[in-house]
């Protein structure tokens, strides 16, 4: 989503949308696949708001695909952190892009403000020359 480059399954790095050094967890709702070079370039920076809709869209896609392919019990386990931390109801709310977007806005925006107050740089944009 940062580089607009198709990912090679053998060359993927997981980026913490909100930096790990701020959230200190590896919960799926905050992870996004990217190129290793992009992940290194982003480092501990907070992404530009321009990436937010793409981030939520990719999360929604992952939730939708997993819902279609996992047995119900496995999908419910997979989505526990989404439900608990994004404060959405189980099931259909996670599959509704509008509800999911609002849940991410309510959760991520205050965290970005707090991280900024703690010194994390805001507005990071991937520069292909980095």
Strand partners of residue 15: 32
**pLDDT tens-place string over residues 65-112:** 999 999 999 999 999 999 999 999 876 789 999 999 999 999 999 999
Catalogue the long-range contacts made by 86-92 (C-beta closer than 8 Å, 24 or more residues apart): 86/29
Please say if the pLDDT value at position 56 is more than 80. yes
Contact 106, 56 (CB under 8 A): no
Q: Where are the domains of the chain?
A: 13-117
Q: Is the pLDDT of residue 130 over 70?
A: no
Which of 38-52, 87-101, 112-126 bottoms out in mean pLDDT, i.e. has the lowest? 87-101
* CA–CA gap between residue 22 and residue 38 (Å, rounded): 19
Q: Using CA atoms, how far apart are residues 112 and 122, in angstroms rounded to an integer?
A: 8
pLDDT band at 129 (very low <50, low <70, confident <90, very high): low
pTM for this predicted structure: 0.92
Q: What is the pLDDT of residue 21?
A: 96
Position 37 scores a pLDDT of 93
Going by C-alpha positions, the residue among 31, 37, 38 that lies closest to residue 14 is: 31
Exposure of 64 in the CB half-sphere (CA atoms within 13 A)? 10
Whole-number Å distance between alpha carbons of 126 and 40: 10
pLDDT in tens, 2-33: 998 899 989 999 999 999 999 999 999 999 99
Nearest to 105 by CA among 113, 8, 44: 113
Q: How many CB atoms lie within 10 A of CB 68?
A: 9
């Amino acid at each position: 989503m940062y580089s607009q480059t198709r990912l090679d399954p053998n060359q993927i790095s997981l980026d913490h949308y909100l930096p790990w050094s701020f959230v200190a967890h590896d919960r799926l709702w905050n992870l996004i696949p990217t190129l290793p070079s992009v992940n290194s370039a982003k480092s501990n920076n907070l992404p530009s708001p321009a990436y937010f809709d793409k981030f939520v869209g990719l999360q929604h896609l992952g939730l939708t695909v997993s819902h279609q392919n996992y047995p119900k019990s496995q999908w419910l386990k997979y989505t526990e952190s989404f439900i608990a931390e994004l404060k959405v109801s189980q099931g259909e709310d996670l599959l509704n892009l509008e509800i999911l977007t609002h849940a991410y806005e309510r959760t991520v925006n205050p965290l970005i403000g707090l991280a900024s107050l703690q010194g994390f740089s805001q507005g990071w944009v991937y520069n292909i020359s980095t």
